[in-house]
Amino acid sequence: MTSFDGELQALIDNMIETMYAAPGVGLAAPQVGVSRRLAVIDVSTKEEKAPLLVLINPVFLGREGEIEFEEGCLSLPDYTTMVKRAEKVAVRAVDREGRDTEIECGGLLAIALQHEIDHLDGILLVDRISPVKREFFRKRYQKARKRGK
């Protein structure tokens, strides 16, 4: 059972603030050291406004098609890579007030949903790329860490 208490609301507000400050289009609770199935997403661009989504216990109802898109992640600074995802998804989740919501979408929102739900399952985008690219990433990232980045 999820309790929609002040603690949860504060965590959500914190995550939203962190996402906007980064700036990023999404953030999942495990990225801030909280192991809950909770993510926030806002895929707004300068040109197009999108809603701020708070998703608790999100599950896929359906996936369709395939698309490849260049993704980055707040947990992997200065790294982007092409990742294959479903082109359209349907997701059910609970919002911050405890209401059931269903989202059917494509485009950047569909990609962000898959990326953030991956985080809830402990999957990073480097787990979604080919072994060769992953090895390249590992070397590059270790070097960056040694430099204290």
Binding site for Co ion (CB under 5 A): 73
Handedness of CA 109, 98, 1, 52 (dihedral sign): positive
Nearer to Co ion, 55 or 73 (CB): 73
The minimum distance between CB 11 and Co ion, in angstroms, equals 17
Report d(CA 25, CA 80) in Å as an integer.
Answer: 14
Is 116 one of the catalytic residues? yes
Q: Report the run of H or E that residue 133 belongs to, with start and end.
A: helix 131-146
The minimum distance between CB 119 and Co ion, in angstroms, equals 6
Report d(CA 41, CA 144) in Å as an integer.
Answer: 28
Nearer to Co ion, 32 or 144 (CB): 32
The minimum distance between CB 142 and Co ion, in angstroms, equals 19
* Catalytic positions: 116
